[in-house]
Amino acid sequence: MQFYLLDLAPWIEPLAQFVFWYPFFMALFWISGAVLFSLTREQEKPLDLNEREWPLISILVPCYNEEETIEETITYLDRLTYPNLEIIAVNDGSSDRTGDLLIGLADKHDRLRVIDCHENRGKANALHMAAHAAHSEYLLCVDSDAFLDEEAPYQLVRHFLEGGERVGAVTGNPRIRNRDTLLSRMQIVEYASIIGSIKRTQRVMGKIMTVSGVIVMFRKKALLTVGLWDRDMITEDIAVSWKLQKKFWDIRYEPRAICWMLVPESLSGIWKQRVRWSQGGQEVVLRHFDILKDWRQRRIWPVYIEQVISVLWAYAWLVVTIYLFVTADTVQQMLVWFTYNSFALVLISHIQLLISLWNDARYDNVFRYYVWAAWYPVIYWMLNTFVVIAATPRAIRSTVKGGYATWNSPDRGTRRSSL
């Protein structure tokens, strides 16, 4: 494809080609993987809840300043009909009433135990403490705003029972429950068309970039072999995913294990969340570059390389955009150039969206939000670029500094329940 309407310098044209074609070919890749996963791994018969005696599971709930959501979450978890479970909630030095609420809830719910810490040491540290207190070999980690679907625990634990001893973790399918604002509806589209497709494709490849921290079940033995979660990593879910897979533990994706969660509904909330995600991904790249020296790790090389290229793409996009601002005769000419050359990307993005919505429609009525897809490609790619750039110095600084990666309670949106 030639880039029309502007004469590009010889040095910038290959970069412009990369900027516009990399997302296009990755979208084709995600589409192919998602369709293959759906046709081969999502056609199984319904789960029979009475087919076996289900083992004990421990549900771990780390909390920091969650007084608005924690009572509702614990109540929902305690209502699960899974016959053999315990709930361990950790108050990680909250400055609000979270600790007092949890202690009160422990008197109401027999299956709940509470660990009350007086200092914020981060989510990974809270999970460490909960894991050591857990009685089960199977640890189901959920966020403090999460509502688990009734079948979710069964769908996750069956992989450990049927998949063999190499299964180290199974990640579930987060769905959004606050749906009243433009930003939350756009994230519904994103979770379906990007996150869901990527998870399906990576599972077909055999390696996953990251489990979903909001709903994931671990085999305790697997966690112990890698030293549990890294306390100095800002995204403990990404970090532990790589540690497990480097030790050749299998990580699976189970879309039928549904978890309803709250997402940010403010620009500042989304920005902070995405910078944290990007920082975690870049920290993994910096920490685990040694996999490229080990032939045994070759199956995870494509995931690592894709992560590196996605970072390079963000900087390439910035360079090309600045170049166009400087060289275009008018802003209108530059906008026409972007519109013309972005047509293929927007088209393939919408094809990917339709296929992804078809995949997820069996779990959630997401087709009603298709209209918001018109906003999605432009905002997502622009936001992702600036997020990556903002996260890079933080990732480098964090890798050098070390120490506890403490946390702040994220933006949970304005609606506390839409179910």
Chain mean position to CA 278: 11
What digits encode the pLDDT tens for the residues 265-298? Answer: 777 888 888 888 888 888 888 888 889 998 998 8
- Taking the CA atoms of 109, 115, 121 and 125 in sequence, report the sign of the dihedral they define: negative
pLDDT band at 376 (very low <50, low <70, confident <90, very high): low
For the segment 144-165, the average pLDDT, to the nearest whole number, is 90
pLDDT in the model for residue 339: 61
d(CA 374, CA 53): 48
Residue 328 has pLDDT above 70, yes or no: no
Give me the residue label for tokens 């070999």.
137
pLDDT tens column, 29-78 = 888 888 888 888 876 677 777 878 899 999 999 988 888 888 888 998 98
**Local confidence band at 402 (pLDDT 50, 70, 90 cut-offs):** low
Q: Starting at the earlier edge strand, list the strands of the sheet with 138-142.
A: 112-117, 85-92, 57-63, 138-142, 215-219, 167-176, 250-261, 147-148
pLDDT reported for residue 184: 76
> What's residue 347's pLDDT?
75
- Average pLDDT of 227-250? 88
What are the structure tokens assigned to 153, written together? Answer: 């625990």
Report the C-alpha gap between 53 and 51 in whole angstroms.
Answer: 7
Distance between CA atoms of residues 27 and 193, nearest Å: 10
Q: How far is CA 236 from CA 123, 228, 240, in A?
A: 8, 10, 6
CATH 3.90.550.10 fits 1-40+50-419, yes or no: yes
Q: Average pLDDT over the chain, rounded to whole?
A: 82
DSSP reduced 3-state for 199:
helix
Q: How far is CA 254 from CA 47, 219, 337, in A?
A: 13, 15, 42
Q: What is the pLDDT of residues 78-101, one digit of tens each?
A: 899 999 999 999 988 888 888 888
CA angle 249, 396, 64 (to 5 degrees): 70
**343: confidence class by pLDDT, cuts 50, 70, 90:** low
CA 139 to the chain's CA centroid: 18
- Please give the share of the chain, as a percent, with pLDDT higher than 70: 84
Look at residue 366 in the predicted model and tell me its pLDDT.
72
pLDDT band at 5 (very low <50, low <70, confident <90, very high): very low
- CA 199/CA 28 separation, integer angstroms: 14
pLDDT for position 131? 92
| CB distance 154 to 235 below 8 Å | no
Residue 304 above 50 pLDDT?
yes
pLDDT band at 1 (very low <50, low <70, confident <90, very high): very low
User: What tens digit of pLDDT does each residue of 187-236 get?
Assistant: 777 777 678 888 889 998 888 888 988 899 999 999 999 999 888 777 88
Please, where are the H alpha helices in 58-151? 70-79, 98-108, 123-133
Classify burial at 73, counting beta carbons within 10 Å of its beta carbon; exposed 0-12, middle 13-18, buried 19 or more.
buried
> Considering the chain, what percentage of its residues have pLDDT values greater than 90?
21
The torsion angles phi and psi of 223, rounded to 5 degrees, stand at -60, -40
- What is the pLDDT, as a whole number, of residue 152? 92
Pairing mode, if any, of strands 112-117 and 138-142?
unpaired
pLDDT digits (tens, 9 = 90+) for 165-199: 999 999 999 888 887 777 777 777 777 767 888 88
* 310 pLDDT more than 70: yes
Amino acid 176: pLDDT: 85
Half-sphere exposure of 136 (CA within 13 A, CB side): 22
Span of 241-250, 277-286, 308-317, 351-360 with lowest mean pLDDT:
351-360
pLDDT, position 416: 47
Residue 108, pLDDT > 90, answer no
User: Is residue 172 within 8 Å of 257, Cβ to Cβ?
Assistant: yes
Look at 252 and 40; give whichever has higher pLDDT: 252
Whether 153 contacts 87, CB under 8 Å: no
- C-alpha closest to that of 406 among 216, 71, 25, 125: 125
Are the CB atoms for 398 and 286 separated by under 8 Å? no
pLDDT digits (tens, 9 = 90+) for 118-137: 887 888 888 988 999 999 99
The reported pLDDT for the residue numbered 136 is: 93
Taking phi over 0 as left and psi of -120 to 50 as alpha, with beta for the rest, 261 belongs to beta
pLDDT band at 314 (very low <50, low <70, confident <90, very high): confident
- Cα 73 to chain centroid, rounded: 20
pTM summary value = 0.86
Q: Domain ranges for the chain, please list them.
A: 1-40+50-419
